[in-house]
Amino acid sequence: MFRVEQAATNAIRGRHRPGVAPRRLARQSRDGGGQRAHALTALVRNALRAYAVDGLAPGAALLQANDVVAHFTGPETFVTVFFGILDTDSGELTYSSAGHPPPVVIGERSSLLPSAGGPILGAFAGKTFAEGQAPLSADQTLVLYTDGVTEARDGDQGLYGEERLLKHAEGLIGESPDGMIRGIFEDVKAYADGELQDDVALVAVRMARPAESHPTPTPPAR
């Protein structure tokens, strides 16, 4: 059985707020801002929590959540979501994405998680969402992020992008999950000259080897 090390951060226009990542991984990015966006976020979060408690797989949970969003909002309102379930015994990650940026798997060879899922939530009712599976080996780290990371812009309006994210993430191997997300966030902020135009959220989850257990010595017989 593996240990899970995890960390999370939210930054609203550059303000860092630490948090904790769940074992059932859900990361969402809303359309726009203000009270309407917060209401949409709450709607999707509560729906996914309910479906997770009912034991629905990621694809089925997103299908149900998509129909809820489409029913209660207009076609101009949408949300992107990544929803994954991590088996902490085997390290197997089962996941599905609704138009969300692909997570990064950081290890000896860092890469983007293969795409699996469907369209953004709320755009089209009745859509299905494919599922993917990927093993997370010991000491690999899964990093989820919102598009505020890859769409951060420098002074010339150039995008931070997935390539830079991967390259920078590889330099953070050996850091703790908290150290990784802090390192990525600081690099994104520096790239944008400290002027983030969108909210940034990051979650890092690592499959770590269990701590070695040492048997309790048996006292000598008297």
CATH code of the domain covering residue 101: 3.60.40.10
Is 214 among the domain residues?
no
* pLDDT beyond 60 at 32: no
Binned at pLDDT 50, 70 and 90, residue 1 comes out as very low
Is 222 among the domain residues?
no
Is 122 among the domain residues?
yes
pLDDT digits (tens, 9 = 90+) for 83-103: 999 998 888 999 999 999 999
Is 218 among the domain residues?
no
pLDDT digits (tens, 9 = 90+) for 107-125: 888 899 999 999 999 888 8
* Cβ(214)–Cβ(40) below 8 Å: no
pLDDT of residue 138: 82
CA-to-CA distance for 55 and 49, rounded, in angstroms? 10
Is 213 among the domain residues?
no
Average pLDDT across the chain, whole number: 82
* Cβ(4)–Cβ(206) below 8 Å: yes
Lowest-confidence pick of 17-26, 49-58, 133-142, 173-182? 17-26
The amino acid sitting at 169 is A
Is 33 among the domain residues?
yes
* Cβ(59)–Cβ(128) below 8 Å: yes
- Contact residues for 93 (Cβ-Cβ < 8 A; gap 6+): 25, 84, 85, 86, 87, 133, 134, 135, 136, 142
User: CA angle, corner 179, sides to 177 and 185, nearest 5?
Assistant: 105
Q: State mean pLDDT over 198-206.
A: 89
Say how many domains are in the chain: 1
Domain of residue 197, residue span: 3-208
Is 144 among the domain residues?
yes
pLDDT of residue 212: 45
pLDDT of residue 106: 92
pLDDT of residue 56: 93
SS3 202: strand
Q: How many CB atoms are closer than 10 A to CB 3?
A: 12
Is 187 among the domain residues?
yes
